[in-house]
Amino acid sequence: MTLTRRLTALAMLSLIGLGACTGKQAPPELHLFIWANYIAPEVYQLFEQEFGVKVIEENFDSNETLRSKLQAGATGYDIIVPSDYTVEALIAQGLLAELDLSQIPNFQHISPRFRGLFYDPHNRYSIPYLWGTTGIGYNASKIETPPATWAELFDPARLERYSNRVSMLDDPRETIGAALKYLGYSVNSTDPHALEAAKNLLLAQKPYLARYDSETYDDFLLTGDLVIAHGWSGEFAKARLENPDIHYVIPREGGVIWADNLAIPKSSQRVDLAHKFIDFLLRPHINATIVNYLRYPSTNEAAQAYILPEILHDPALYPPEEIMEKLEWIRDIGDAIALYEAVWDEVKNR
């Protein structure tokens, strides 16, 4: 009896709670949907003070999560931060609003190299924000010769030395892409023979791997559980602050280059404010604050004056021209993605 009474009381209480939370306050809000920890925290405060608004952040952990949430009909976001090939897909699905570049004067600071990229040739929908590369990170004190080629991760004779202390990204496009690159193909190859060869290579590599890992490889490199890992440039740069023996290299066959972009979803109710925010992030010193915090290179040329020299002159983060030329973008390959998924399923499950 008392139990029912108590439960009723609880139910009443929670109903009151529901009622209290339906009313909304009125200061203008800007809603971001972004990778976790992908902006220096003080940047929000500066923007809030200058424009008298409140910035509210929600996070995703992969482009696929971002896409599935938007496609299922989530609205209310004013700024999203998709990667290159995802911009292509979002444009195709009509989910992005057209940008008004006249409201973003700081677009002039974007390096010509990053303007009009393949996924948005006239920057009608997106502006590149940060970029990076995918390659090999390692602990120099636990390795005799620094790796210089993908063979370090794929040649069994070399893998033998790091048995169970190697990781590859838990990401079909990146990891199959790395295998394709080692074999001399494009990371976007849709040739079934190339993919078959990549599959066999990955299957031969698997017994030597500690795991497929996209989230914690930098942690385990620091703890010493891994000595060599496939991963993203900025993560190794951050890990190096903790341990100077951590290094990063783009293999001589070339690696992957990617860029995360600022875009406004079509469903945004605050398009003007969103433009102001994008322009704010492109201000050179604001942009540099973010780069100095995150250790990912910026697309902003004018920001370089404020970026820490140790970042700017780090060839692992800002690769020299001859390496830049060998980097390849991951592209949306449409229905051929099924081929990749089949290979990935077989590699992961066998």
Partner 1 sequence: MDRLKRRVEQFIALALVLDTLLTYIFLYLPIGVLVLYSFSASRYALVWGGFSLDAYRRLLTDPEIAPALVNSILVASSATAIATVLGTALALALERGRVRWHRGIEILSYLPIVIPEIVMAVGLLLFFAQAVRPLLSIGGLSVSPLPTVIVGHVAFSISYVMVVVRARLRDLDKSLEEAAFDLGATSWQVLRRVTLPLLAPAILSGALLAFTLSLDDFYVTYFSTTGGSGFKTLPLYLYALQGRAAIPPQMNAVATLMLFTSLTLIALALLFHHRIRRA
Please report how close the Cβ of residue 36 comes to partner 1 at its closest, in angstroms.
5
Residue 57 touches partner 1, criterion: CB under 8 A: yes
Give the E-state strand segments of the chain in sequence order: 29-35, 54-60, 79-80, 126-139, 166-168, 209-212, 228-232, 246-249, 256-263, 328-329
- Of 26, 36, 121, 145, the residue at the interface with partner 1 (CB under 8 A) is 36
Residue 258 touches partner 1, criterion: CB under 8 A: no
Please report how close the Cβ of residue 35 comes to partner 1 at its closest, in angstroms.
6
Output the CA angle 285-289-293, nearest 5 degrees: 165
Contacts 24+ apart (CB under 8 A), 46-54: 46/286, 47/277, 47/280, 50/280, 51/273, 51/276, 51/280, 52/27, 52/28, 53/27, 53/28, 53/29, 53/273, 54/27, 54/28, 54/29, 54/30
Residue 183 touches partner 1, criterion: CB under 8 A: no
Residue 142 touches partner 1, criterion: CB under 8 A: no
Residue 22 touches partner 1, criterion: CB under 8 A: yes
Residue 170 touches partner 1, criterion: CB under 8 A: no
- Half-sphere exposure for 55 (CA within 13 Å, toward CB): 24
Please report how close the Cβ of residue 271 comes to partner 1 at its closest, in angstroms.
14
Site string for partner 1, 204-243 (x = CB under 8 A): ----------xxxxxxx-xx-------xx-xx--xx-xx-
Of 158 and 238, which CB lies nearer to partner 1 in the complex structure? 238
Please report how close the Cβ of residue 242 comes to partner 1 at its closest, in angstroms.
6
- Half-sphere exposure for 11 (CA within 13 Å, toward CB): 6
DSSP three-state, residue 220: helix
Binding stretches for partner 1 (CB under 8 A): 1, 3-4, 7, 10-11, 13-14, 17-18, 21-22, 24, 31, 33, 35-38, 56-59, 61, 68-69, 72-78, 214-220, 222-223, 231-232, 234-235, 238-239, 241-242
